[in-house]
Amino acid sequence: MSDVYILGIESSCDETAAAVVRSGEELISNVVYSQIATHQPYGGVVPELASREHLRAIVPVVRKALEDAGHTYQSIDALAVTQGPGLAGALLVGLSYAKALAYALQKPLIAVNHLEGHIHAVLLEGRQNANHPDPRKTGASRGPRSDGELQFPVLALVVSGGHTHLFLAERNDDGWIYHDVGHTRDDAAGEAFDKVAKLLQLGYPGGPIIDFLAKHGNPQAVKFPFAQIKHLDRNPQNRHSPDQHRVDFSYSGIKTAVLRYVETHDMYAAIEQRRRALKELASPSADDVLAASDRVTLDLVASFQRAMVNDLVQKTLAAAREHSATTLLVTGGVAANSELRRVFESEAAQEGLAVHFPSRKLSTDNAAMIAAAAYPRFLAREFAEAELSAEAGLRLR
């Protein structure tokens, strides 16, 4: 099989992204236009503003991705686009553009699930690092992943601002299939980071700043209990054996617990003081936020992060035991968290599990992961129909 160059387009949330990937194994270009500045004043993504920004950015972002890759519209082999899940209006911008482009160029279009994209960010980089000359050997169930090979069963934790999902990922001749073996009942983990940061006036998005501030606080200062949500899956198709359990997550409770802590420890005056101090600065740095944070805040932030990390790691390991997984893939925006990486690495090693993350750049939303996930579908000639539409609640299976 000769090289296949796929142009990926992603617009499911607040990043407009385009990338060119060769044969699912080499990132040729990767352009991400982040809308953080637009949503920052609101402390969260405003869907209408996101759609508008995508409309503005999509054409220049795609052009830049082609230019950086040394490609033209004509020289790529196929297009791939995020179909869902995500914000309906935001998805529609990337999807309509990709459909029109594919039609005009008479090139195949491949629809990709955003969550599958996050999983393929890890696989793409594994192959790239291994610099494996034979794409057919990637993903084979032998050898360590360090040379681009995976040991199955593979359990993937996709943890971001919109999702906290556990999937068992399997490979067959046609590509990949996924079994949902656990997900959040309410808020996503990244959403909890963002909401706690908003409550404490630390800035947006919350994850990176909490990651930074937590290093300066005492993670033992505040205890946050989590419920264990382990139960038999009602859908027998998701069970590999009759007594197999699901492991679900829940992160709305910890947000309320942080709010209670703020109320009972009279933190509102300090929060308001920080808000004012940071408002004076054009674009406050992490050090500026640190300088505006007292000990109580730093301890609270460190304790919150520790609780989140421990819950994510413990529940993922419980699911890994339940499904006898040998490899863990941890991906999505929250996978950029330094404590999450450290704890996963040490705990997984103790259980004899291999654990892999994407680079920080490919942890958060990007289009390289969409182009990479599209490659097996390109080989299987799974092309989108002309009626393809965006699906805000698209499931992965």
Burial of 8 (0-12, 13-18, 19+ CB in 10 A): buried
Query: DSSP alpha helices (H): ranges in the chain?
Result: 36-39, 47-69, 88-105, 114-130, 189-199, 206-214, 252-264, 268-279, 286-291, 295-322, 338-350, 360-363, 368-379
Can you tell me which of 10, 211, 299, 311 binds ligand KG4, judged by CB under 6 A?
211
Q: Does 194 bind ligand KG4 (CB under 6 A)?
A: yes
Can you tell me which of 43, 148, 206, 284 binds ligand KG4, judged by CB under 6 A?
206
In angstroms, give the least distance from the CB of 365 to Zn ion: 4
28 binds, among Zn ion, ligand KG4, none (CB under 5 to 8 A by kind): none
- In this complex, which beta carbon is closest to Zn ion, that of residue 211 or of residue 365? 365
Cα–Cα dist 396/167, whole Å? 9
- In this complex, which beta carbon is closest to Zn ion, that of residue 6 or of residue 367? 367
Q: Does 162 bind ligand KG4 (CB under 6 A)?
A: yes
Task: Please work out the total of residues on this chain that contact ligand KG4, with binding judged by CB under 6 A.
Answer: 19
Can you tell me which of 91, 208, 365, 394 binds Zn ion, judged by CB under 5 A?
365
User: Which two tokens mark 305?
Assistant: 């992060």
Q: Does 161 bind ligand KG4 (CB under 6 A)?
A: yes
**CB neighbours of 78 closer than 8 A, spacing ≥ 6?**
4, 6, 7, 107, 108, 109, 110, 374, 378, 383
Q: Does 190 bind ligand KG4 (CB under 6 A)?
A: yes
Q: Does 160 bind Zn ion (CB under 5 A)?
A: yes
**CB neighbours of 395 closer than 8 A, spacing ≥ 6?**
85, 113, 180
Angle between helices 268-279 and 252-264 (to 10 degrees): 100
- In this complex, which beta carbon is closest to ligand KG4, that of residue 4 or of residue 93? 93
Q: Does 299 bind Zn ion (CB under 5 A)?
A: no
**CB neighbours of 208 closer than 8 A, spacing ≥ 6?**
286, 336
Can you tell me which of 160, 164, 184, 303 binds ligand KG4, judged by CB under 6 A?
160
- In this complex, which beta carbon is closest to ligand KG4, that of residue 108 or of residue 161? 161
Report the interface residues with Zn ion, using CB under 5 A: 160, 365
Report the interface residues with ligand KG4, using CB under 6 A: 13, 160-162, 190, 193-194, 205-208, 211, 332-334, 336-337, 364-365
